[in-house]
Structure 1
């Protein structure tokens, strides 16, 4: 779902729950030392403290903390945050993710309104809402997404809304319900290339995720679609380029590519650190393939600069429309 922060980074984020079932997996090992371009600053500043206080006073979970995002200092200082709804326990155990795995608690029925209040209080122009996987729910949490979107629109009508959803695997009608709520951006991450799914994202299905993104456009062509991957997990360059083609076949507008960072030694190891030049090459190729917007760098994450990127999406769509 979200790329995580190496536990040796300058930012120290305490892991929530360990994943003992991953301790003896063959793909887990120590990662190589981080190169200089991966370093980030520790979270400081008045904006960081205020954002944390608002989230905690409303009893909200942020993926920024749960997944140990390396950009937390920069984003929170600017009062940018990604709210993670439906609790902090995921029903899946992806080998890259530091979010706790287990049986989730019942949904907090007051959570959508709490998110709406926090968004209003922070004065956000653009907000990102994501969630853990909730395979225990009949609709995978689709209705909770809908209620959260509506609550934000009621509390902060000028705020644009981006959702980063699970795959709603085997949840008939769930996607249609969420799309009908008309978020401004529908994001669903592929996370990695198909050959790595068994070890990186074993509970998901690559082509189901591609089809989900395609269906969003079929249901409502006006919604921007977005997806992201991590690199450094042992994928081949040609696999990344093929993934770009698969996303473009689904008419996805926006692609993010970032470096995978190992949260603990029990998680999937970093196979290699992709250089900044390689990221620039990926960005050039992806733009040539027709994506409206591409963000590719070592510290790129799905929700990093989401508000600015939404403006870029709108400008790119308008430019292509005018050119046609």
Structure 2
């Protein structure tokens, strides 16, 4: 069992006690196309120091992202707000489940300060699930967005939110704060929700993304899934159709990597050619932007992708106007 330090209480806590009862699963050997080097660069160390100084948590570390070395070297980071403890126990996730600590009311200013120090043009803000809060943490998201706007008005903001299940009015609070991109990941196909994402509801997540467009048609929407969990190709294609029905602009597809033997096993390592095929089909279905590769993650290259997303919308509008 791995031990991490609780940044609030500054004490060791066990990692994943809620998954201890699960039987060990075979961990497949990674193919060559998915291997990455350990991070050692100066840029990585500088970003790590900024994160530590501001007592922040990043999803880059908590989720064990394979791209952390590349992103932190470029001073890119995705901030995980509202603590390190999640109220749900998804079978794929490497974040600890349990009873979260109280919200840190100074966190919005700390995040905004780190964004300013890093000179970010684009920032991604995500969170653990906070089913214990009346609004699911929506107002805290809004406070973080506004704090960043105050300290770094030129920085574009992307939020990756929970589903706010059974939290009436929560989504509206976040959308009203005007993030530039609203991201909510489906994670997997509906047939796998019971085993992979048991606390969530597939069609609620689809409806959440659709509702964002109803509240603000100009806001970019985004969603992502993992493959290699045992899904069938036709299920992925149907999921694409469901997202397009909700008018989602941007789709990400990446390879699922098993964090520990207690997590859901990798059923297959999807080849680069298969990812390219998914990308081709997704563009044909009408997404403005698609990122599909073994190492694709929701926040990977988010800043560059946002610029491409704006360009794609402008090109689409110009084409529509002349049609």
TM, length-normalised to structure 2: 0.94
Q: Identify the residue that residue 130 of structure 1 maps to in structure 2.
A: 126
Q: Map of 1:279-298 to 2, 5 A cutoff?
A: 279-298=275-294
Q: Identify the residue that residue 8 of structure 2 maps to in structure 1.
A: none
The CA distance in 1 between the partners of 2:151 and 2:212, in whole Å, is 26
1:243-265 per-position Cα deviation (integer Å, ceiling 9, x unaligned): 00000000000000000000000
The CA distance in 1 between the partners of 2:90 and 2:311, in whole Å, is 35
Q: Identify the residue that residue 264 of structure 1 maps to in structure 2.
A: 260
- Check 1:280–1:16 CA distance in 2 against 1; reply closer, same or farther (3 A cut): farther
Q: Identify the residue that residue 249 of structure 1 maps to in structure 2.
A: 245
The CA distance in 2 between the partners of 1:72 and 1:321, in whole Å, is 35
1:57-81 per-position Cα deviation (integer Å, ceiling 9, x unaligned): 0010000011110000000000000
Residue-pair matches, total: 309
1:176-201 per-position Cα deviation (integer Å, ceiling 9, x unaligned): 01001110000000000000001100
The CA distance in 2 between the partners of 1:201 and 1:16, in whole Å, is 24
Q: Identify the residue that residue 70 of structure 2 maps to in structure 1.
A: 74
TM-superposed CA distance for 1:24, in Å, is 4.1
* Contact kept in structure 2, 1:62 and 1:82, CA below 8 Å: yes
Q: Map of 1:124-163 to 2, 5 A cutoff?
A: 124-163=120-159
Q: Identify the residue that residue 5 of structure 2 maps to in structure 1.
A: none
* Contact kept in structure 2, 1:31 and 1:270, CA below 8 Å: yes
Q: Which of 181, 188, 199 is the matching residue for 1:203?
A: 199
The SS at the match of 1:61 is: coil
- Check 1:284–1:259 CA distance in 2 against 1; reply closer, same or farther (3 A cut): same
Q: Identify the residue that residue 185 of structure 1 maps to in structure 2.
A: 181
**CA root-mean-square deviation:** 1.2
Report whether the alignment pairs 1:101 with 2:60. Answer: no
* Contact kept in structure 2, 1:55 and 1:61, CA below 8 Å: yes
Q: Identify the residue that residue 34 of structure 1 maps to in structure 2.
A: 30
Report whether the alignment pairs 1:303 with 2:299. Answer: yes
RCO comparison, higher one (Cα < 8 Å, 6+): 1
TM-superposed CA distance for 1:32, in Å, is 1.8
TM-superposed CA distance for 1:16, in Å, is 7.5
* Contact kept in structure 2, 1:16 and 1:66, CA below 8 Å: no
TM-superposed CA distance for 1:38, in Å, is 0.8
The CA distance in 1 between the partners of 2:292 and 2:196, in whole Å, is 20
The CA distance in 1 between the partners of 2:291 and 2:26, in whole Å, is 28
Kindly report structure 1 stretches of 4+ aligned residues shifted beyond 4 Å.
none
Q: Identify the residue that residue 15 of structure 2 maps to in structure 1.
A: 18
The CA distance in 2 between the partners of 1:291 and 1:138, in whole Å, is 34
TM, length-normalised to structure 1: 0.94
1:34-55 per-position Cα deviation (integer Å, ceiling 9, x unaligned): 1100100111111101111001
1:162-220 per-position Cα deviation (integer Å, ceiling 9, x unaligned): 00000000000000010011100000000000000011000000000000000000000
- Check 1:16–1:254 CA distance in 2 against 1; reply closer, same or farther (3 A cut): farther
Structure 2 alignment gaps of length 5 or more:
1-11
Q: Identify the residue that residue 79 of structure 2 maps to in structure 1.
A: 83
The SS at the match of 2:194 is: helix
TM-superposed CA distance for 1:30, in Å, is 1.2
Q: Identify the residue that residue 114 of structure 2 maps to in structure 1.
A: 118
TM-superposed CA distance for 1:20, in Å, is 3.5
* Contact kept in structure 1, 2:187 and 2:226, CA below 8 Å: yes
The SS at the match of 1:130 is: strand
* Contact kept in structure 2, 1:31 and 1:271, CA below 8 Å: no
Report whether the alignment pairs 1:317 with 2:295. Answer: no
* Contact kept in structure 1, 2:18 and 2:97, CA below 8 Å: no
